[in-house]
Structure formats: C-alpha cells, structure tokens
C-alpha cells in the first residue's frame, strides 16, 4: 500500500495558502490518498472555499486531521476530508462570515447581502455533518461557537477523535465537570484545554517555545504584504515582542494603523482589488469604466469594472493615492488631482485610457483605402528608394549536355519620403476635477479618426494627382497602357479595362505579368450604379438577361468621396496588393499607428498628449492600376 501524500495548512488562510496548495496538488499522484494536517485560526473565506473545493475533488481520498485548531474557515476546509479526525486536545470554532467595510447605506446593504450569500456557500460544506440546515444556521449566527474534539464528533463535524490519553496525564476532575455543550467564552476553552496539558516541565517548555514560534510566524504572515508602508515594520516588531498579542490582535492593530493613513475612496466599497496586483487591476478596470461611460464600446470589460461604475475621476485619483500609501483625507478635489498627477500611476491610467480611445477611433474609422493599397515599414525619414524587379527571363530549352545560359532581371525604382504629422491635446486640472470625460476619451478618439483620415487623404491624393513617375510618364497614361478611352461604368467598359490590365508586361518586356483586377474604386456619385453592376446576376443595361461576367461579381467595391472632388465620372481598377504593389502606404518601423505620448506640465497644472503619425503614400508599380475617365 502506498503511503499517503502529506500537506499542512497552518496559520491564516490567505491567497498564498491557496497557491501553495494548488502547487503541491499539481505535483502529487491523484490516485494516491492525501493526509492533510490543519492548525489554522481561519482567514479569507474565498481562499478557504477554494481550498475546500480543490481537496474534496481529490480522487484518491483524503484524511483531514486537526492537530491544533480549525477555526472559522479552517473548519470548512476540514469538511473536505473523506475521513475527518481531530486530536483530543484540538479545538474547532464555527461562526458566520464577517467583513470590514465602509460606505454609504446602499453599499453597506450590498455588503450585508453578499455576506448572506457567503454564509449559504459555507452551509453547503457543513452539510457534511449530517445536521439539518436549521441546526447549521444556528452555528452561522453572530456568535463564535467553540467545540472540543468530542463535541465536534457528536455534532458530525469530525468522524474520529485521536486520543492523547497515553501521552498526557489524566485531567483533573474539575476540568471534566466544567465541560458543557457550547462554552460561551473563549477563555473557558483555553482554561479547560490548559488543564489537559502535560505537567512535565520539559514538555511544557517545548510546547511554549513552539507556541511562541507559531505566534510570531502568524504575525509575520499578517504583515507580509504591508511591510513597505510607513510605520508597519515598527508595529510588527512591537507585536512580535509582546507575548500577549496574538495574530488576530496584531492584524487588528495593523488595520487600524493603515486606516489612519488612508481616507474613504469616494464613499464606495471596492471589494474586487486585493493582492499583489491590486493597483494594476484597479487601473485596468477604471480604464474600461471611463471608456464605457464616454460611449466607447469595450467588448470584454475587466471583472472589477462593476465595482467602479459610480466612481468619478477624482475618486479614482483618491483610490490610486490610497493604494500607494498616500493619505487624502484633508485634501479638496483639486489637491487630490494635483497629488495624483505627481505619481506615475494616475497619469498612466489617463494615458492608457486616451491611447485606447485613440486606437479605437483609428480602427473604427472608414478605411477602404487600406484594402487595395500595399503596406510597408521603413527604418527612417530619409528618402526611400524601393526596388521593383522585372519579370524573370523566360526559360530556355537546354539540349543534351549543353550549358545553361545566364539570365538577368532589370529593375525600376520608386522614391518617396515619410513625414511626421501630429497635434497636441492638453487637459487641464480643472477638466479632471469637473470629471470631463470628453477630454481624454472623446477627443483622443477623434484624433484616431483624424489619423486614419490623413492616410486616406494622402492615398487618394496620389490617385487623383496622377503624378509623374521615374520613367517620365504620368501614373495613368497611354504610355503605361493603363488609361482607357472615356466610357461610362458598365459591363462592357469593365471588360475592356480588364483586358488592358491583363496585357501588361514586366519592366523587361519579356512576358506578361497578368494583373488580375480585384477592386473597383469609384467616387460616391457612382457607388449605387457600381453596386447594381456588381450584385446583379445579369447585365442591368440590357433587357435580354445576358449573364453578368463572373469576374465582375468577384470585384470588391471601394467608394470614397475624395474622388468626387476630382471627378464624379472617373473610375479605377486595382489588382490585389499581394500580386502587384500599386500605391504604397509607408510607416516608420516600430512606431504605434498612431503614437500617443503623455507629458505632465508642472508649471500649468495640465497634462498634455502628443498624437503623431509617421506616414507617406507613394507609387510602386503602375501595372496594378487602371483608370477610365468615365463619361
């Protein structure tokens, strides 16, 4: 038979307890039984419930043994055992869940409702005792109910009592006479337990040393997450040095000390932010709240966003100051904002919110120009020369034992240079105090839209401008074979344009590159007519139901009003940029599109955001484009 795998749960039940338990269980054989030893004064309910669920699902079976105390949520973890045991001198305690909170009447009523739900979840675990729900609810009232091991067995809280009688002298008769089912005072329990301890001096000394070591370890665990705060290390040292201060009393003093340095956070209870990542989680949730409040869609908001819905910008600033150990109880709203702007976390929250709003504006803006244009990153702002290679020379027949002949590829070059475009958005301290969301949500979103609009302006500026290329001919010209005779948009004129595009040859003139039309680009004035042609199964200009050409139904329509300003009749065809790069969009490598940079101005109580887009549009190869002036 395999020996059981052992786990100990000692001290306070915290998030660290849950993570330690999960880590140990992951390394164990799930077919082998577990032996879990408990000596705990309770702790966080959520972590205790998590431990209970992880243990009770263990397929190999579990023996849970109380070696000292199983108080509060630790008595719930005890119920996960297939076999539940406790030493004769052990103690159990069951009570209702409790919390420490602040807030207005509504938030306090909400906290009470939450505690009622937590109590019901604990009741499920205690049903393991076999007691009726009515009995269990008497344990989960406002009183601490203490039980010896024998009493716990009688009530079904454990299955077995481990007798210590062989190692411990018999208890005085008056201790037995003092027993009763529900001792009302903890001191009675301590006195009763003390009378059953060994009278051997060495045993007493060893037990005292062990108890003192455990007390100090429990105090250190309570203080571990707060040692960087002002005065906490000194308070911990005083608590450890005083043998009369237990772990819970030390925790109460710690809470009072931290509370003296903080002020309420906007009169709202914020229960979702704890642990080592509480500040980053808070900023992520606050960002989603601000975006949604400003009407910006957030598909998957942070789980903690619900608890921040009523919190304004000043309240968020107070929360961040409080989480970083700065008291705000004597500050007015303007002072709170000024103090928060001096930190790195509050400006980061605003910058992240503004940046996300700007990115959403950029992504959601009309972007038809990106469908038919190519895209590249360039390393710097110098003039760029992109080589456009010709087609490869044709393959030649090689007679038996003859030598292969060398072939060459010619090339063309297109030159352009990216430029920086930008604006500065300034937000005043007054706007933040006034909770003006438009300052860092709506306006940055509009800047994102403006960046996308700039791209489209430049791209269609090239298309409308018909620039002269490096070979001395205009982009659209009869010399390039991509300028058709004026004809209205129709099945016939599209067929002529398609034929002209497919007859394009490479730079060396050795063979056809055969551009395949994929996009029909029209001014807004022709959009409806183009939709009729592309969506109809037959030629809409004829009455004999002549079938529409297959390639026409495969075209993607792009309509843009920038073309109307140049001509309401001209229309264009473009090959896919993956086949031939016609017009190119170029961006500075490594830069976000667009880029947002934040700067806090000390002299003017303001925070500024610089929006920048490094961009250029240029022509790479005319063969992928075709124009008809229209009629």
Q: How far apart are CA 350 and CA 445, in angstroms?
A: 13
User: What's the pLDDT score for residue 272?
Assistant: 55
Which tokens is 487 given? Answer: 């004809």
Residue with tokens 């005043």: 428
Half-sphere exposure of 406 (CA within 13 A, CB side): 2
Average pLDDT over residues 302-313: 84
Nearest to 319 by CA among 337, 300, 306: 337
Of all residues in the chain, the percent with pLDDT exceeding 90 is 31
Which tokens is 368 given? Answer: 């038809």
Predicted TM-score of the model (pTM) = 0.51
| 3-state DSSP assignment of residue 610 | strand
Helix, strand, coil shares of the chain, percent, nearest 5, are 40, 20, 40
Q: How far apart are CA 336 and CA 351, in angstroms?
A: 18
Which tokens is 168 given? Answer: 């411990």
Which positions ≥6 away from 488 have C-beta within 8 Å? 569, 630, 631
pLDDT band at 260 (very low <50, low <70, confident <90, very high): low
Which tokens is 600 given? Answer: 């806090």
Residue with tokens 């390639």: 551
Nearest to 557 by CA among 581, 533, 587: 533
Q: How far apart are CA 591 and CA 614, in angstroms?
A: 8
User: What's the pLDDT score for residue 269?
Assistant: 42
Q: Which fold has domain 5-198?
A: 2-enoyl-CoA Hydratase; Chain A, domain 1 (3.90.226)
DSSP codes joined into one string, 362-396: HHHS--THHHHSEEEEESSSSPEEEEEE-PPPPP-
Report pLDDT digits (tens) over 15-52. Answer: 878 888 887 888 888 888 999 999 998 888 888 888 99
DSSP β-bridge partners for residue 388: 412
Nearest to 147 by CA among 107, 196, 193, 204: 193
Q: How far apart are CA 617 and CA 598, in angstroms?
A: 28
Top CATH class, 369-394+408-467+587-619:
alpha beta
DSSP β-bridge partners for residue 423: 611
Average pLDDT over residues 539-544: 58
Report pLDDT digits (tens) over 150-186. Answer: 999 999 999 999 986 544 444 443 433 333 333 333 4
> Does the pLDDT of residue 283 top 60, yes or no?
yes
Nearest to 265 by CA among 321, 223, 209: 321
Nearest to 391 by CA among 408, 415, 368, 414: 408
Q: How far apart are CA 385 and CA 255, in angstroms?
A: 66
Q: Would you put residue 108 in left (φ > 0), alpha (ψ -120 to 50) or beta?
A: alpha
> Does the pLDDT of residue 503 top 70, yes or no?
yes
Average pLDDT over residues 577-584: 92
> Does the pLDDT of residue 267 top 50, yes or no?
no
Residue with tokens 């007054």: 430
Name the residue ranges covered by the structural domains of the chain. 5-198, 218-257, 278-343, 369-394+408-467+587-619, 491-580
Report pLDDT digits (tens) over 449-491. Answer: 999 999 999 999 999 999 998 888 999 999 999 999 999 999 9
pLDDT band at 197 (very low <50, low <70, confident <90, very high): very low
Average pLDDT over residues 58-77: 92
Q: Checking DSSP bridges between strand 625-628 and strand 571-575, what pairing results, if any?
A: antiparallel
Q: Do the beta carbons of residue 455 and residue 375 sit within 8 Å?
A: no
Q: Checking DSSP bridges between strand 83-87 and strand 160-162, what pairing results, if any?
A: parallel
> What integer best gives the mean pLDDT of the chain?
81
Sign of the four-CA dihedral 253, 15, 40, 218: negative
Average pLDDT over residues 127-140: 91
Question: For 46-50, 140-144, 173-177, 500-504, which range has the lowest pLDDT when averaged over its residues?
Answer: 173-177
Q: What are phi and psi of 491, to 5 degrees?
A: -60, -45
Q: How far apart are CA 519 and CA 352, in angstroms?
A: 37
Q: How far apart are CA 481 and CA 622, in angstroms?
A: 9
In angstroms, how far is the first alpha carbon of the chain from the final one?
93
Of all residues in the chain, the percent with pLDDT exceeding 70 is 80
Q: How far apart are CA 70 and CA 63, in angstroms?
A: 15
């Amino acid at each position: 038979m395999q020996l059981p795998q052992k786990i100990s749960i000692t001290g306070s039940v915290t998030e660290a307890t849950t993570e330690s338990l999960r880590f140990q269980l992951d390394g164990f054989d799930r077919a082998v039984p577990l032996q879990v030893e408990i000596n705990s004064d309770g702790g966080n309910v959520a972590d205790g419930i998590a431990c209970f669920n992880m243990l009770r699902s263990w397929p190999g079976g579990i023996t849970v043994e109380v070696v000292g105390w199983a108080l509060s949520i630790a008595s719930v973890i005890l119920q996960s055992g297939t076999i539940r045991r406790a030493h004769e001198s052990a103690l159990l305690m069951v009570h209702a869940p409790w919390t420490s909170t602040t807030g207005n009447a509504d938030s306090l009523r909400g906290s009470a409702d939450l505690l009622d739900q937590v109590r019901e979840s604990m009741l499920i675990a205690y049903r393991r005792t076999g007691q009726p729900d009515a009995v269990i609810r008497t344990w989960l009232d406002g009183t601490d109910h203490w039980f010896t091991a024998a009493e716990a067995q009688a009530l079904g809280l454990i299955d077995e009592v481990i007798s210590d009688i062989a190692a411990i002298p018999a208890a005085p008769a008056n201790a037995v006479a003092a027993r009763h089912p529900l001792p009302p005072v903890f001191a009675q329990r301590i006195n009763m337990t003390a009378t059953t301890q060994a009278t051997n001096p060495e045993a007493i000394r060893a037990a005292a040393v062990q108890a003192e070591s455990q007390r100090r370890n429990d105090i250190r665990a309570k203080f571990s997450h707060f040692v960087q705060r002002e005065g906490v290390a000194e308070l911990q040292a005083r608590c450890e040095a005083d043998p009369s201060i237990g772990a819970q009393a030390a925790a109460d003093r710690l809470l009072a000390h931290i509370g003296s340095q903080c002020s309420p956070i906007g009169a709202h209870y914020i229960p979702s932010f704890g642990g080592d990542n509480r500040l980053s989680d808070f900023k992520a949730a606050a960002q989603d709240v601000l975006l949604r409040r400003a009407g910006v869609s957030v598909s998957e908001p942070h789980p903690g966003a619900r608890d921040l819905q009523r919190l304004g910008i000043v309240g968020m600033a107070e929360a961040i100051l409080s989480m970083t150990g700065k008291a705000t109880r004597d500050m007015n709203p303007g002072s709170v904002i000024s103090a928060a702007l001096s930190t790195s976390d509050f400006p980061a929250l605003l910058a992240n919110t503004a940046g996300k709003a700007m990115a959403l504006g950029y992504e959601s803006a009309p972007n038809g120009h990106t469908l038919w244009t190519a895209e590249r990153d360039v390393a710097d702002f110098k003039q760029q020369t992109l080589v456009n290679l010709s087609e490869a020379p044709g393959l030649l027949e090689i007679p038996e034992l003859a030598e292969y002949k060398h072939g060459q590829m010619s090339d063309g070059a297109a030159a352009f240079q990216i430029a920086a475009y930008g604006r500065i958005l300034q937000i005043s301290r007054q706007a933040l105090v006034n909770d003006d969301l438009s300052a860092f949500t709506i306006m940055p979103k509009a800047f994102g839209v403006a960046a996308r609009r700039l791209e489209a302006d430049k791209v269609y500026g090239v298309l409308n401008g018909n620039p002269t290329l490096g070979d001395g001919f205009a982009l659209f010209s009869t010399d390039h074979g991509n300028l058709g005779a004026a004809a209205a948009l129709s099945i016939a004129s599209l067929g002529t344009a398609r034929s002209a595009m497919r007859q394009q040859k490479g730079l060396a003139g050795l063979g056809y590159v055969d551009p395949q039309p994929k996009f029909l680009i029209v001014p807004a004035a022709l959009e409806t007519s183009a939709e009729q042609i592309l969506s109809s199964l037959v030629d809409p200009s004829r009455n004999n139901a002549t079938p529409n050409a297959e390639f026409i139904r495969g075209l993607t329509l792009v309509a843009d009003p920038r073309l109307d300003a140049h001509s309401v009749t001209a229309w264009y065809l473009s090959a896919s940029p993956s086949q031939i790069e016609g017009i190119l969009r170029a961006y500075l490598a490594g830069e976000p599109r667009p880029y947002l940079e934040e700067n806090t101005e000390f002299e003017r109580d303001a925070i500024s955001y610089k929006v920048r887009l490094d961009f250029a549009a240029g022509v790479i190869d005319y063969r992928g484009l075709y124009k008809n002036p229209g009629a």
